[in-house]
Each structure stands twice: as C-alpha cells, then as structure tokens.
Structure 1
Amino acid sequence: MRVHPITSFTSALSAPLRSHRTHRAARADRPGAPRGRRGFAIAALVASAAVVAGGTVAFGAANKTITLDVDGKVTRVTTYAGSVEGFLEKNDIEVGERDTVAPETSSALTDGSEIVVRYAKRVDVQVDGVQTEVWTTALSADEALTTLASRGADVRLVASRSAAGGRAALPIELTLDGPVDVAVDGQILTARDGSLGLAAVLDELGVVLTEYDRVSVQDSTTGAVTIVVSRVVVADVAESQPIAFESVDQPDPARYVGQKKVTTVGVEGQRTIVNRITTVDGVETARELISDAVVAAPVGQIVSVGTKVRPVVVATPAPAASSGAAADPNVGGSADSLNWAALAACESGGRPTAVSASGAYHGLYQFSVSTWGSVGGSGLPSAAPADEQTMRAKMLYNRSGAGQWPHCGPRLFS
C-alpha cells in the first residue's frame, strides 16, 4: 500500500462533525463517491470495541476515540489500533496508490487523534484547449481548479455526458456550498446553491442540453465557479461545385491550316460535396468530407482545326494596263468562291481608283505598290482595271490568305 502524505487538511479536520444520515443524503447522487465495502466499514466503526471476559464486559487499556474524515464524511470512532496503518487495516479501509492519508500511516494513534482519507477520482481536464485525464483528491470542482490552476491559462473540468438522458455529471462535487454561475447562450445565470450538483443546477435554471452540447467548469473572477455550456451543432451541409470541361482539337482536312471552328460547344459538369460541419457557439471547429458525387458529367468541347495546305500560286506577268486587254478575274483555287465585292466595299468603298490618305495604298483592295508588283502587277494598282485588281487580289489570297487584309479580310467569307 503506497500512501501519499498531505498537509492541507487543517480546515477539513476542524470542520463541524456531520451525522452519517446527513452526509449520506448530501452525497447520495454524487458520482464517484465511495460505496459498498468501503461504506459499510466506515459505518461499522461507530460501534465501540469491547472485550468480553468471564461474563463481564471490560474496555481495554488501549481504547481511544479518534476523528475519521473520509472524503468529507466525518465520524467519531472508538478503536484499539495503535497506528494509522493498523486502524485502516483493522477496519478494512482500502487505500490505493493515488489516494492520500494524513497523518502518515506509520503515525501512532492516541485518544483524540484525527485521520483524513481522500480517495482519488479521475476527471477530464481541458488545459488551454487540450483535453486530458488527471486524478485528483479534491472534494469539489472549485478545489480541483485551484490545485490545477498552474497548468495553464485556461483550465476547465470537462463534464461527462454519458449519464442517462445525456445529463451532465462530474465525478466530484460542483461546490460544497454557495452560488455558481452558468454561462450559456450569451448570458450569465446564477444558481444560489451549487451543492445541489451539476445536473440539478442546470435543471433549476431551465438549461436544456442538446445531443452534442459540451459542459465544462472553470474558475471565475467573482470567486464562484462557472459552468460553461457550449452549444455544439453537427450538420451535414451539401455544396454544388462546377466541373470544368476539356477542349479537344480535332484535325479537319477540309479546312486550311490556320482555320478553326468549334463544332461541339463545351458544357460544365456539376458535383455535389457533402461535409459534416461542427460548430461550437456558432464558430466552425471541424469539417469532415462525407461524400463527393458527380451529378452531371462535363461535355468536352471539340474544335475543328484545319490541316489542308494552301495552294502556292506562281505569279505570272499580266498584260500591261495600257494594252487594253481584259483581265480574267478567275484564277482558280478557293479564291474564286469568296466574296470579293464585300472586301472591296470594306477596303475602298468599291472604288477602283481609291487612294489612301497616306498615298501608300491603292485601288479596290488597297494594294501597296510593292505587294502589287509581287503578284505581277505593274504601275499603280489604282490605275489598273477593276478585273485585273480582283484577279491579282485572288492571287494574293491563294498565296498568303485573308490575313493580308487584317481588318476587312473576314468579309471574304460573308
């Protein structure tokens, strides 16, 4: 048997004696209170020990009366034991390695001696947000909080919700006497008698706990302990999110290189994500993914990309403009099927003799002199007949595409 000496039981030893009936009524519902074999042994100590000899009753010379305090239950006991250890063993009072006894078990007993026994209880403690288990011999929550205060800035006793009906409970008394405060739903309520116990105080104030609510006990600036009720909500929340579509280029031999067209328009898909979200007093503290399901698959976008090589047109000298010969505007290739009138209307307003304000561009299709010469033209483009201008514009297109007319080129396909 390992016993830890204690030195702070002066107030407990000097407290007024209470009857066994009164103490039992006060502790009937206290979780963790000693019961069974231990309780019967204590009650039996009230009877005086006697020695029977020759039909007469005589009291031994070592008979003495001591005061016994077990977890705040104080009784006067008559015994013949000569030491604390002998008294405990004789009266079947078991003490574990976490329990405390004062004075030391080796101490001698004399008439008027006092023995204090404190049984350790396991309590859940939250220190600066981290929960752990500790053993304490404190009789009440306020006493336990005082002894644990040095462990952190925010020390709380965490109440169990495993009792029937989810009632909150502590393995020790809430307080031996006096009021307690209850912090709940943004307000502070006060119960006049904290000795009723944690569950009774909440019932008295009409505080109803839901399934996941948490209850803890901490010190307050007023000197009274404070019961803190944290409202906990656990809910599955669904959220829809888009799924991006992919774009695929598809070779198209019917289109020239550089030409593209969207043949299938892409459509975003949709997924539904369900998270289990925990909030404490309205603040999210945890999020757990429950499911992630695709509701609608995305539709990929298909782009037709031309692979056809443009024909190379070799420019041939055209008859001189002064010859009066009519030019054939048809040069072959895809150019003959395009809308050249629309291009001319955009570039020059359809005027074969048009000259730009800078004097650099001439004719229906606003040729520069150098470009005009590269397709076989001679002289100024604006001086050539309209058919010749169209012929050489088609030659230019077959060689270089509509990009020669950056602004008006798209009109060719109208």
Structure 2
Amino acid sequence: MRGKRRAPRPPIPWRSPWTPVVCLAGMVALGALVAVSSLVKEVVLIVDGRQSQVRAFAGTVHDVLAEAGVSVGYGDLVRPPAHEDVTDGSTIEVRHARPITLTLDGRTSRHLVTATNVGDALAELDLTPAAGKLSAPPDDAVPLSGMELTVYTRRKVYVVAGTNRITSRTTARTVREVLRQKRIPLRRGYVVNPPLGSFPKDGTVITVTPPRTIPIRPEVLRLNWQALAECAALGDPQAYNPDGPYYGMYQFSLPVWQAVGGMGIPSTWPAEEQTYRAQVLYQQMGSRWQTQWPNCADRLFDPVGSSR
C-alpha cells in the first residue's frame, strides 16, 4: 500500500531571491536614521528674555538663528558669538537693540541698549537708578521701538541768601525748584543768580540778594571799586577785622551796612552785592564819603586795570 504524498511546504520568505536586497535596504535606512538623529541638536534659545527649545541641524550659532527665523541686526547682542559652533544642549541668547533718547540733567543724547527694562538700560549707560529722579520706573519695559527717558541726578548745590548758607543734595530741575525745596522766600525785586529757570548743575552757587531800589549813577559805576576792595581787605568778600568789627571786601560796620539796605552780615554776601552797597554808601555820604575808607579812598580814582 502506497503511503500518502505530503503536501509541498510553503516557500520560506527569507529564502526569496529578494531577501538580501530588502535586508540591505533596511540596514541602510536604519544607519541613515541613526546618522541623522546624531546630527540633530537640542538648543535652548532665549530671545529678548523669552525662552524656547528648538531642534536644529545647524553647525553654528548663526545657522541656528537662521533656522529659527531670528533676525539679528546692528547693535544686537548675541551670546555666544554667531560664528561659534553649537553642541547638543547649547544655550543661545539674543537681545535686540532698542533706541533710547536720554535727557540727563538737561542734556539730550541718543543710545542703543539691549536691556529690556529701564533699570537695566540705565546700568548699561553706567547710571544708577537710585541716584536720581527718573521719568519712568526702573521695572518699566523698554519696547523694541525705543523710548524717551529723562534722568535728573542728585547734585550738590549751595544757596546763599543773606546770612543763610545752605548745602543741598537735590534732583531739582530749576533754581526755582531748589529755592522752594529749601523754603527760601522770594519777595518782589529780589535778585537771584543764576536765573530762576536755569538748571542747577553740581556745585552751583545760588545767590539771593534783596531788592536794589537805589540806582547807581554812571560816574559812580566808573570808579575803580576793585582797587578800593584790594586796598581795604585784599579783595576778600569774607574778610573780617575784629577791631570794628568790620566785614567784607569794603570793611563795613554793621550799622553802616544796614543803613544802605544791607541784610545780615556783609561778609556772607557775594562780592556783587557788597559792591552795590558800597556804591550806595558813596552816593549817600556825598562829600563825606572819604571817612568810610580813610586810608584807601584815593584808590577809587586809580585807572581801571592798574595796580600799585
């Protein structure tokens, strides 16, 4: 009895003539995938303070920014520099430049900063926010379009008003504002130097003098008052002679000073005020004016600019 014939076995796939080709293609694809994945870099990108994570095939910072669509122009800050290579895990920071119109103590200039807030912008410009008065708070944002910023620094100025000598640390914008801060009264006719609307720079001396209601005749103005002051007190507005006592560059006694409208002590006033009061005295005394300066009166008639 003949046995049953076995059914033919199905063909084994790997024994197909195409099997080696398929395997080779798969290996090539896998190798390519591994190679490509090794070229992709994870990069942390910070643009104007905003952080994101990007994947890039690029080799340099410049290439990464180009792939991410981040433009860079004049004045912008890029860290690390654009020509440097990037590695997986690198961090790239970009800060775009912002125009600042800065008015500092009345003087205006223009700058580019990469800071995103006012405080950091001032730090870039070597200014300390706490050192003065700002037109915007330090934490205000600086827009890409730029902004105008006004800063008044804290300055030391001096006020001389009669017997008052005041030192002030101020951020005031005008002389008038300084006087208001120090509660210096201004009455009609008072002379203020520098003018009330001027800017008080560091070291400015502000003088407030009482009204000058008595006009000085031209021939009196032409006399050599500087020569008289040099003779009487070596031209020193703060001179003091205890014998009288006598004060200032024209050696006033207090009764005489008050008689010609002077206030306080003569030596506390600037030279201009002392000269005016001396001229008033000359006019009021008439022919007796020499008794005020018995040893120096003739110096008034020295040619102006001459010296003995």
Please report the TM-score for the alignment, with normalisation by the length of structure 1.
Answer: 0.28
Counting helix residues as a fraction of each chain, which structure ranks higher?
A: 2
Please report the TM-score for the alignment, with normalisation by the length of structure 2.
Answer: 0.36
**Structure having the higher Rg:** 1
